[in-house]
Chain A
Amino acid sequence: MRFVDEYRDAEKARTLAPRIAALCEPGRAYKFMEVCGGHTHTIYKHGLEDYLPEAVTLVHGPGCPVCVIPMGRVDDAIHIAGQPDVIMTSFGDMMRVPGGNGSFLDAKARGADIRMVYSPLDALKIARQNPGKRVVFMAIGFETTAPSTAMTVLRAEAEGITNFSIFCNHVTIIPAIKAILDSPDLRLDGFIGPGHVSTVIGCRPYEFIARDYGKPLVVAGFEPLDVLHTVYRILVQLAGGRAEIDNQYARVVPWDGNLKALRVINEVMELRPYFEWRGLGFISQSALRVSERYAAFDAERIFRIPGGRVADPKACQCGEVLKGVLKPWECKVFGTACTPETPIGTCMVSSEGACAAYYNFGRFSRERVKEATQR
């Protein structure tokens, strides 16, 4: 696998490093946000910051769908799971996410029928096998998973399955990026664009970032050299006084995305006027709900959900981490009160969360954790 080796070759990374450094204007500091949790993994697993000049800082964005689910929605889902004859189904990632009243795992221990599934199609299968039960699928994720949920609803309708519904928590990436661009807390110079979300939405939806905000965004692959190459390509644009949308991951991401996937999302779902994001607050038109035409498959219409709002724990600074304002280790409880075993915040729960990535890959030494938490 010569090509793969090329993307991981430390030698190549070292030759790229001085070229990246040479593009930095003396005295200027650069902040680039990697939107996707997958990139955060690559950066810490391979210690990519070691290859970057001090002038370049990488900050983590809100691209972990588990991390951005507000506590109130977890409580709503647990409320649904507690209704008569309900089987709640969920991806494994969601099981430990805390709501105001515990997680799915806690509710399961109290007797709720909550089952882990790999795919929404597995949830549909459970509905088929249990005609006397009401099977609900906890739908979460960005545009990477929304088409799968939509396809499953279409399948349920085609088969005439009436005991299946979804509790729709799908979110959309563009309004989150816009909220971060509009946030006064953080000044960014460019974006490392998400890889897999872009497989679905393509590159065009990012154009406003270059046009209206004058910032480059380069869609990136997940190999270490992909990420370094992307930083290089962002800096080339900035050095030339340009801001454009560029696709470093063209070997997987088509410029126009997956049109069929976009079509099925639009068929089954519509934008909500607003939705609460954990840590980011309410963002308008940033999430999807089931459209009127498919109301029979909408758990929010079938069950009366409390719809309460629960404030995040005071000690938790996931909001700042999700906006890139704080590095995970700058959070007061990181690595001490909040660990993957006993998470307080979602960024530590999800294996795709920035805090879990820092913690698990040990890029960050215990001494520095101590230093940071003693401040």
Chain B
Amino acid sequence: MCLGIPGEIVEILSDRPDLAMVDVCGVKRAINIGLLEGESVLPGDWILIHVGFALSKIDEVEAKAALDFLESIGQAYEDEIEALRESMIEEG
């Protein structure tokens, strides 16, 4: 739950500007980007995600470092990705 997971922005949803489709380790999910006020968010950008919300923009190198860290944690990370897979934020 406290783990920040990096994801890559795939698409900004035109009808819901506070949501973006994000690729997180191959899982595509809608993520809320409403906390990144005043920052440009474009496809290809990387973000750090906490419980369905982007908390900060990061660069690709940092994203890979964060993923490495998460993979080293093992089970907790797998649980988080599994929970994300079940997430259904976009349908609202």
A residues contacting B by CB (< 8 A) are: 1, 3-4, 7-8, 37-38, 41-42, 45-46, 64-66, 91-93, 116-122, 124-125, 128, 140-142, 144-145, 147-148, 151, 196, 199-200, 221-223, 251-254, 258-261, 264, 351-352, 360
Contacts and interface: CB of A to CB of B under 8 A. Distances in A.
Contacts of A258: 35, 55-56
Nearest to A251: B62
Given A119-B89, A196-B2, A351 B51 contact: no
B14 interface: no
B73 A41 contact: yes
Interface of B: 1-4, 32, 34-38, 48, 50-53, 55-56, 58-59, 61-62, 64-66, 68-69, 72-76, 79-80, 83-84, 86-89, 91-92
A41 B50 CA distance: 18
Given A199-B55, A223-B65, A144 B35 contact: no
Contact of B73 (A45, A119, A148, A254): A45
Q: Report, nearest first, the 3 A-B pairs whose CB atoms are least far apart.
A: A119-B52, A351-B76, A118-B83
A121 B89 contact: yes
Contacts of A42: 69, 72
A116 B59 CA distance: 31
Given A140-B1, A144-B50, 19 more contacts: A1-B65, A37-B2, A45-B73, A92-B1, A116-B86, A117-B83, A120-B52, A122-B88, A144-B55, A148-B52, A151-B53, A199-B55, A200-B55, A222-B66, A251-B58, A259-B37, A260-B36, A352-B3, A352-B76
Nearest to B84: A118
Contacts of B80: 118
B2 A142 contact: yes
B72 A252 contact: no
B76 A121 contact: no
B55 A261 contact: yes
Interface of B: prevailing SS: mixed
Contacts of B75: 351, 360
B79 to A, nearest CB: 6
Contacts of B51: 91, 118-120, 141, 145, 148
Contacts of B65: 1, 3-4, 7, 221-223
Contacts of A222: 65-66, 69
B61 A147 contact: no
B79 A92 contact: yes
B57 to A, nearest CB: 9
B68 A8 contact: yes
A264 B53 CA distance: 13
A1 B6 CA distance: 15
Contact of A118 (B34, B36, B86): B86
